[in-house]
Amino acid sequence: MRWLIVVPMMVLLCLAFGCSEDTNNGTDPVCTNVVNVTNASGLLHGSPCTQDSECMYGKCLQSPVASFKFCSKNCSCGANSSCSDDPANNGVTYACARKRSGTSVNAEQCLLRCSSVADCQKVDSRYNACDFLPDTMDISSGAAKVCFIQ
């Protein structure tokens, strides 16, 4: 009978504080990640960069999806972390990609969502593929096709 009180209470706590499956190595079910705009006029997700300060969210990362560094943000959980909330980059929107296994500093990142390579090349001509990410990249965009370099 006690579980009739505990289970709804846990659900309410998750709704109020934003639960996540994998924060703090699974030890803390409450997500405390906050993603802040650090450069309001900075480059958008998928745009080539050389340093963090060039990017809207202060994250210029090297990823298996491209041979160059590009702007992104951590889209794992928390305030302002949804890729779809951000302005489109030359008409191209975003999908959150997550690490398939293990941990990494760039485990979650916003990638360019696409339906053709032409979408990708609106942002940078070096993108030459629009598809689901191959298993060899150890990163997954789920059911979204994204831009990458083969």
| DSSP E strand stretches across 40-133 | 60-61, 70-71, 94-99, 108-112, 129-131
Instruction: Report the SS3 class of residue 25.
Output: helix
φ, ψ of residue 98 in degrees (nearest 5) = -130, 150
How far apart CA 50 and CA 69 sit, in angstroms, is 6
The pTM score is 0.73
Please indicate whether residue 54 or residue 104 has the higher confidence score (pLDDT): 54
CA of residue 4 relative to chain centroid, distance: 36
Instruction: Report the SS3 class of residue 89.
Output: strand
Per residue in 33-91, pLDDT tens?
Answer: 778 899 999 999 999 999 999 999 999 999 889 999 999 998 877 777 889 889 999 99
How far apart CA 60 and CA 43 sit, in angstroms, is 9
